[in-house]
């Protein structure tokens, strides 16, 4: 019982090792960021300028709040601004194009400029 109590105290007292605030996609995003230099919600906070970084083999899409769907290859290299992280889909960032259009794009396809 003492070990459980001590472990609980350590987790609460040491937020670096607790799961509080952790999102479902964080481990995958961090792994991809380390391997490919892509963004995470920590490394590309709101206000960061990014570009879409995809290859011909990538088959992911960008979506809009109006229901638009765009192949990421059509947005490749476009300069975008991180607006915020998506409230319900932690794997996605909300980014804004120069014309004002906002897209939902997975963090792993965004790279800091």
User: Rounded to an integer, what distance in angstroms lies between the CA atom of residue 32 and that of residue 30?
Assistant: 5
Residue 82 domain flag: yes
Residue 81 domain flag: yes
Q: Tell me which residue range forms the domain holding 44.
A: 23-112
**How many structural domains does the chain have?**
1
pTM of the model: 0.74
Residue 17 domain flag: no
Residue 112 binned pLDDT confidence (cut-offs 50, 70, 90):
very high
CATH of the domain at 107: 2.30.30
Residue 13 domain flag: no
Nearest to residue 85, comparing CAs of 40, 21, 55, 37? 40
User: Rounded to an integer, what distance in angstroms lies between the CA atom of residue 23 and that of residue 8?
Assistant: 20
The predicted-structure confidence for 75-97, as pLDDT tens digits, reads as follows: 998 999 999 988 878 889 999 99
């Amino acid at each position: 019982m003492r070990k459980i109590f001590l472990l609980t105290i350590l987790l609460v007292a040491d937020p670096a090792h607790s799961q509080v605030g952790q999102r479902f996609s964080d481990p995958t995003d961090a792994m991809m960021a380390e391997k490919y230099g892509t963004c995470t919600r920590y490394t590309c906070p709101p206000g960061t300028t990014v570009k879409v970084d995809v290859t011909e083999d990538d088959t992911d899409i960008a979506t809009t709040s109006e229901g638009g769907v765009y192949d990421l290859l059509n947005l490749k290299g476009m300069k975008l601004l991180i607006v915020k992280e998506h409230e319900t889909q932690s794997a996605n960032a909300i980014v804004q194009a120069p014309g004002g259009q906002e897209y939902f794009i997975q963090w792993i396809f965004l790279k800091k400029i």
